Amino acid sequence: MFDPEEIRKDFPALSRLVNNKKIVYFDNAASTQKPIQVIRVMQEFYEKHYANVHRGLHTLSQEASKMYEEAHEILAKFINAYSWREIIFVSNTTEAINTIAYGWGLWNLNEGDEIVITVMDHHSNMLPWRIIAQIKRAKVKYIDITDEGYLKYDQLAELVTGKTKVVAFPIASNVLGTINDARKIVKIAHEVGAIVVADGAQSVPHMSTNVRELGVDFLAFSGHKMLGPTGSGVLWGKEDILEDVKPFKVGGDTIIDVTLDSIVWHELPWRFEAGTPNIAEGVGLAEAAKYLMKIGMENIREHEIELVRYTLKRFEELGGEIEYYGPRNPIDKTGVLAFNVKGLNHHTVGAALDMFGIAVRTGMHCAHPLHRRLGLEGTVRASYYLYNTFEEIDYFIESLEKIILLKKSLSGPPTEIICTGT
C-alpha cells in the first residue's frame, strides 16, 4: 500500500530541523529530495566501480560502461520508449530543449517559418526557440490561456498553419499546475507536418508517462525533479527523427571516425553525449526511476490529487485572504499551487513560512510572461510530492493563519523583502 509515512523514512533530509521546526518541504517543483537508495548507489559507484565509460577494456571501465548503458535501458522502460537508443542523457531539461532547438531547428527552419509555443512555458522551453527564430528569421506565435489557466485550444488551431514547423509546450505548467492535452496538441500540429516538443519537467515525475501514447516527437525532463541527482536528465526522441538531428555539442565519444576531411558520427544515443558524461548521475537517475516504478506512478498521481483537493478546501477556511491561481479541479493539475496572501508581498510570505520551517518558492518561477499575463509580479508556490502528508498541509494552513493574523495586527503598508530570485 502507498504509505507516505513509510516513504519518508527513505529521505534523510526530511528529518532535519529548520528554525527549530521539523522541515516541511513544499518546493518539489524546483527540485526534489533524494532517497537513501539513490544516495547509496552513487556512493557505491564511486567507491567500487568508477572509471570513464566507453574508453577502456579494463574491468572498472567495463563495469562503469555496463551500469551507464543499463541506466539508459531503465529510463526507456520508465517512459515506455521504443528503444533505449532513443534515450539521450543530458544535464537537465534546459540542455535537452537546447539540443533540439540547435540540433534540429537550426538546420531545418527557414525564413518565414513559424514556431508555436505557449504563454505558460517555462523560460527553458521558450528562450531557445526565440533565439533560433532570431537566427533563422522565423516567427514565434504564442498560445494564450483562459483566466482559469487552461490553454486556448481553439486559438491553437488558428495559430497552426502550413508555415508551422514546431509546436512546443509544457505537459504541465510549473506555476499553475495545469495539465495540457498533449494528444490534442499533437493532432493539430501533425496535421500540418510540424514536430512537437514536450517539456515534461513537471509531468514525468508526477504521473505515468507513455511516449508511445503521447504521440509527441520529443520529450525533455530533468532527473533532479524526480528524486534523481542534479546534472541528470533525459531527451527522448523518435529514433527516425533523432537520426536527422545534428549533434549540438561535439567532441569525444560523439564519433566513429574523424579525418581531416570528414566526420562519421557515432550511433544513437552516443553522438549526443559529448565528452565524459555525468556517469554517476546517470546511475543515480536510473535508481530514482526504479524507486518511482516500485512505488507506482499511478499511486503518486492519486496522492497528489488528494493533497491538492485537501489544500484547496483548507484555503477556503482562511476567510478570503488567499488569492489562488490555476485550475480549481485537482484532476486537471499536478501538485502545484500558486497563490498570494492579500496585502502581502509574495517574498514576505515565503520568508515568513521559512520561519515555521516550511520551504516554498517565491517569485515568477522562470515564467515571467505567464505572470504578466495574469497581472502578477510574483506568486508563492507550494508544490507536493510522494512524501508530503495531510498533516503537513494542516501545519501549512495553521502557519498561514498566523501570518494573516500578524498582518492584520500591523498598521501601515506591508513590509516587503526584496528578492531577485525567480
Task: Specify whether the CB–CB gap between 140 and 117 falls below 8 A.
Answer: yes
**Catalytic entry in 41, 185, 341, 366:** 366
Q: Helix 93-100 crosses helix 123-136 at what angle (to 10 degrees)?
A: 20
The answer to whether residue 419 is catalytic is no
Q: What is the 3-state secondary structure (H, E, C) of the chain?
A: CCCHHHHHCCCHHHHCEECCEECEECECCCCCCCCHHHHHHHHHHHHHHCCCCCCCCCHHHHHHHHHHHHHHHHHHHHHCCCCHHHEEEECCHHHHHHHHHHHHHHHHCCCCCEEEEECCCCHHHHHHHHHHHHHHCCEEEEECECCCCCECHHHHHHHCCCCEEEEEEECECCCCCEECCHHHHHHHHHCCCCEEEEECCCCCCCCCCCHHHHCCCEEEEECCCCCCCCCCEEEEECHHHHCCCCCCCCCCCCEEEECCCCEEECCCCHHHCCCCCCHHHHHHHHHHHHHHHHHCHHHHHHHHHHHHHHHHHHHHHHCCCEEEECCCCHHHECCEEEEEECCCCHHHHHHHHHHCCEECEEECCCCHHHHHHCCCCCEEEEECCCCCCHHHHHHHHHHHHHHHHHHHHCCCCCCCCCCCCC
What contacts 379, CB < 8 A, 6 or more positions away?
Answer: 175, 325, 338, 339, 340, 346, 362, 363, 364, 365, 371
Q: For residues 100 and 219, give the distance between their C-alpha atoms in angstroms, rounded to a whole number.
A: 10
Q: For residues 92 and 224, give the distance between their C-alpha atoms in angstroms, rounded to a whole number.
A: 8
- Cα pseudo-dihedral 304, 39, 99, 31, rounded to 10: 40
Task: Specify whether the CB–CB gap between 150 and 120 falls below 8 A.
Answer: no
Residues with catalytic roles: 366
